[in-house]
Amino acid sequence: MNPRKVTDGVFFVGAPDWDRRLFDALIPLPEGTSYNAYLITGQEKTALIDTVDPTKWEVLKAYLEKVNNIDYVVIQHVEQDHSGSLPMVLEKYPNAVVIANSKAKELILTHLHVPEEKIQVIEDGDKLDLGGLTLQFIFAPWVHWPETMLTYLPERKLLFTCDFLGSHLATSSLFIEDERLVYLGAKRYYAEIMSPFRNLIKGHLEKIKKLDIDMIAPSHGPIYQNPDFIIEAYEEWISDQPKNIVLLPWISMHGSTQAMVEYLTSKLVEKGVEVQPYDISKADLGELTMATVDAATIILAAPTILTNMHPMAELVAYWVSILRPKAKAYGFIGSYGWGGKTLETVKSLFSGIKADFFEPVLVKGLPTQTDYEALDKLADAIVEKHRVLGLLP
Ligand SMILES: Cc1cc2nc3c(=O)[nH]c(=O)nc-3n(C[C@H](O)[C@H](O)[C@H](O)COP(=O)(O)O)c2cc1C
């Protein structure tokens, strides 16, 4: 298999993973994903940028069949879906030097057990001359591990961004064919992996906007020939301004909490607020996570079971709390039978979040007229909050 030409001296040697259905043993992948590796052939030296997930080593190996020599393997990110085939690459090319920053070196040693002497440590801004082509390293810590770096190829105005700006999409196309599909795959990727680091991402985005870029080659998903498409999407996602949306993850065993959710949803919709309800027992956690990127308010709804909040709701509450979304207000509604510590659990899970908390609405059994009135008050409080945020007239 011949490496696939991206531009002069730059070839794609990565692997789509059509059948992968779960990322990080957590997030569903309706469109699969890919692990992109790139071969850069200068007049004097050849470099491989990243490798592939070890399950796809055979694909990379087939691309490298006729490649006699690799001088450098640049490791932009040590997570195994990109570096996991490094030991196999080094076995095939024993003289190859691994190019990594000092943090990446540490992680390569602990995660891949590559011999230390194979690794050459570089600094932020360092350049590697391949003969007519230059690799320039730009450190981008915490997108999304501490060692992440990007690589700029000025002669081709091409930026390799590793996980940053990537999308979950398995495709046989090198370049984007369907922007809508890539947008959703990139948002799914951003929501899970990048959104907790959005304040740092702002700085990295500003840095790369200063570069002269014609193409962005990420490590997941197709290559962007229109860099503005993904840069503008990221600018919207990382902005502090949420949208006029209430994210409402809910679960219900016998319909009481569900009745509350349906009532609150209809009241909010009546008042001009968009509601995104997700039945936690069936929802795609990736879609729910994507909704956290935009929502101004998050209301969790769950019944009590064995003295505490329903465990699937607890998982979602915990997940939302560690994602640290931009939502400005939170709330809890739910039904119980006789007692328990659901509310204490909610408070403790959300204790680290800096946002407003609405008065919770807890109902004994099926909601009564008085309970629906409490939900009316909650809807009014949400609408008022969205007005203050400038999201509603
Ligand atoms: C397995 C199970 C355990 C429950 N444990 C408690 C409990 O410890 N404390 C309590 O107040 N209610 C408990 N309940 C009662 C429910 O919280 C109550 O019926 C509630 O109205 C259910 O809301 P839902 O219809 O939204 O599922 C339990 C119900 C079930 C099915």
Tens-level pLDDT at each residue, the chain (393 residues): 999 999 999 999 999 999 999 999 999 999 999 999 999 999 999 999 999 999 999 999 999 999 999 999 999 999 999 999 999 999 999 999 999 999 999 999 999 999 999 999 999 999 999 999 999 999 999 999 999 999 999 999 999 999 999 999 999 999 999 999 999 999 999 999 999 999 999 999 999 999 999 999 999 999 999 999 999 999 999 999 999 999 999 999 999 999 999 999 999 999 999 999 999 999 999 999 999 999 999 999 999 999 999 999 999 999 999 999 999 999 999 999 999 999 999 999 988 888 999 999 999 999 999 999 999 999 999 999 999 999 999
Ligand 1, atom 10, residue with closest C-alpha: 337
Mutate which of 248, 260, 305, 314 for ligand 1? The one with the most ligand atoms within 8 Å of its CB, which is 305
Cβ–Cβ under 8 Å, residues 302 and 310: yes
State the pLDDT at residue 39.
98
Predicted-complex ipTM score = 0.99
Q: Partners of 136 in the beta sheet? A: 127, 152
Residue 28 in contact with ligand 1 by CB distance below 6 A? no
Cβ–Cβ under 8 Å, residues 225 and 157: no
Distance CA 17, CA 37 (A): 13
Q: What is the 3-state secondary structure (H, E, C) of the chain?
A: CCCEEEECCEEECCEEECCCCEECCCEECCCCEEECCEEEECCCCEEEECCCCHHHHHHHHHHCCCCCCCCEEECCCCCHHHHCCHHHHHHHCCCCEEEECHHHHHHHHHHHCCCHHHEEECCCCCEEECCCCEEEEEECCCCCCCCCEEEEEHHHCEEEEECCCCCCCCCCCCECCCHHHHHHHHHHHHHHHHHHHHHHHHHHHHHHHCCCCCEEEECCCCEECCHHHHHHHHHHHHCCCCEEEEEEEECCCCCHHHHHHHHHHHHHHHCCCEEEEEECCCCCHHHHHHHHCCEEEEEEECCEECCEECHHHHHHHHHHHHHCCCCCEEEEEEEECCCCCHHHHHHHHCCCCCCEECCCEEEECCCCHHHHHHHHHHHHHHHHHHHHCCCCC
Burial letters 102-111, b for 16+ CB under 10 A, else e:
ebbbebbeee
CATH fold label, 4-238: Metallo-beta-lactamase; Chain A (3.60.15)
State the pLDDT at residue 353.
87
Distance CA 4, CA 107 (A): 30
Model pLDDT for residues 322-357, shown as the tens digit of each residue? 999 999 999 999 999 999 999 999 999 988 888 999
Ligand 1, atom 28, residue with closest C-alpha: 305
Residue 305 in contact with ligand 1 by CB distance below 6 A? yes
Which ligand 1 atom is the nearest neighbour of the CA of 253? 27
State the pLDDT at residue 351.
86
The length of the chain in residues reads 393
Q: What are phi and psi of 272, to 5 degrees?
A: 90, 15
State the pLDDT at residue 137.
98
Model pLDDT for residues 120-174, shown as the tens digit of each residue? 999 999 999 999 999 999 999 999 999 999 999 999 999 999 999 999 999 999 9
Mutate which of 253, 307, 335, 362 for ligand 1? The one with the most ligand atoms within 8 Å of its CB, which is 253
Which ligand 1 atom is the nearest neighbour of the CA of 364? 21
Q: Partners of 299 in the beta sheet? A: 331
Q: Which of 361, 347, 266 is nearest to 314 (CA)?
A: 347
Q: 335: CA distance to ligand 1 center in Å?
A: 7
Distance CA 5, CA 40 (A): 10
Q: What are phi and psi of 25, to 5 degrees?
A: 50, 35
Domain boundaries, the chain: 4-238, 247-388
Q: 342: CA distance to ligand 1 center in Å?
A: 11
State the pLDDT at residue 360.
97
Ligand 1, atom 6, residue with closest C-alpha: 305
Q: 387: CA distance to ligand 1 center in Å?
A: 36
State the pLDDT at residue 352.
83
Q: 363: CA distance to ligand 1 center in Å?
A: 11
Which amino acid makes up residue 8? D
Distance CA 122, CA 98 (A): 10
Ligand 1, atom 27, residue with closest C-alpha: 253
Which amino acid makes up residue 12? F
Residue 88 in contact with ligand 1 by CB distance below 6 A? no
Distance CA 98, CA 188 (A): 31
CATH fold label, 247-388: Rossmann fold (3.40.50)
Residue 342 in contact with ligand 1 by CB distance below 6 A? no
Q: 259: CA distance to ligand 1 center in Å?
A: 15
Q: Which of 189, 296, 288 is nearest to 234 (CA)?
A: 189
Ligand 1, atom 21, residue with closest C-alpha: 365
Residue 125 in contact with ligand 1 by CB distance below 6 A? no
Mutate which of 336, 341, 368, 375 for ligand 1? The one with the most ligand atoms within 8 Å of its CB, which is 336
